[in-house]
Amino acid sequence: MLNIRFGYNMNLIQLVCHEEAEQIFKYLTAYLANDNESKAKMAGNRDAHLGSQAIHLAATTGNKFIIDTLIGEY
């Protein structure tokens, strides 16, 4: 698992949700389309700072597209 974002142990999906990088999120979702195990693992990871998962980070920004995609695809 990548250790990014100031040592908070965020993975790529979490970072993308935090930064609202929709185009990167769309690419990653397409890339992981047939890898449900990786999607579940990445979506379920909790950061070391507050224990936030990707859905929590997306909710803090209020990005409806990312929230809906996380719920439907991850």
pTM above 0.95, yes or no: no
What pLDDT is recorded for position 6? 52
Find all residues with CB under 8 Å of 59, minimum gap 6, and list them. 67
Q: Map out the domains of the chain as residue ranges.
A: 12-73
* 74 has a pLDDT exceeding 90: yes
Dist. CA 74–CA 69, nearest whole Å: 7
Chain segment 13-44, per-residue pLDDT in tens:
998 998 899 999 999 999 999 999 999 999 99
Which residue has better confidence, 69 or 51? 69
**With 0-12 CB in 10 A as exposed, 13-18 as middle and 19+ as buried, what is 71?**
exposed
